[in-house]
Structure 1
Amino acid sequence: MSQDGTNIQDTTPAPEWAMELLRRIAHLEAQNTPMPENSEDSIDVDVDGDGDNYIVDKPPPRDLQLYPELTNALPGISQDFFKSPITDSERRKFLECCPRNTGMVYDPPSLNEMGLSSEFKKEDSKLQDIQYRISGLTRPIDYFVH
């Protein structure tokens, strides 16, 4: 619109990128506008969100209060749980004193004997790494309980 209130039409065509932007905006606006109630092509929409398989309701987090019986049975449970109760040198001495289990005879087959591909060997080493890390995470529980 000009300053005197008359409409002035620009006869030069808009660039293609501007037209593409306008088409995209119109498409997005069409997606966001509600459909009329009496539309023949109605779509069933679940308002409360129970129909969407990718949205999962999680229960609220809960905290466990210690039972008095558990506190009496394991008095050290209220202290720093993940701190090792013995030092590294004491732990080494303890493990050296423990006899080996002679009743267990198990030799896992080597991966080379099985003829596995290099990709499988990589995946196997990843799984071994995961097992090692999990054992490190659960070790304080072993120290605490045993």
Structure 2
Amino acid sequence: MGGSESVWKSDDPGDPDSREPTSSTSDSIVVSDIEELSACRERISSVVADCDADRCFEIELVASELVTNALEHGGVDTVHVDVRRRPTELDLVVAAADTGPERTYHPDPDLPDPQDARGRGLVIVRALSQSYRVRVEGGFRYDEVVMTLDC
């Protein structure tokens, strides 16, 4: 999990098509501390820099919610974020070692009580995503999100 790959129509920054991807653009990010979330969001934004500002914010928000959940509730030291852009969709996978007790994951969470200060993260993820699922495999939990792009 490392590095990034970009394929653009033109390498000339003056060319109007220079920021339009011809195939996929991807990045792999490792987050070890909540203080690194800002840098993680910036790297994800660079993958969708040509999208509408509101959609970029939504993509950053979904990533932040999933990474924060993994760091705060998963009891892990490191979270891996893989982002892959395709022409009309963005795949976002947040992976962390699943060190907690065996449990059932509910990718369709209930709405929290309006008086609760917390508990809205996965509801937000679900609302902003085209699809969301949780997969546990080989000692890791994978939160997998597909988001549409209107760029």
User: Shorter-chain-normalised TM-score: which range?
Assistant: under 0.3
**Structure (1 or 2) with the greater strand fraction:** 2
In our comparison, the structure showing a higher alpha carbon Rg is 1
**Structure (1 or 2) with the greater helix fraction:** 1
TM-score by length of 2: 0.18
State the structure with bigger RCO (CA 8 A, min sep 6), 1 or 2.
1
TM-score by length of 1: 0.18
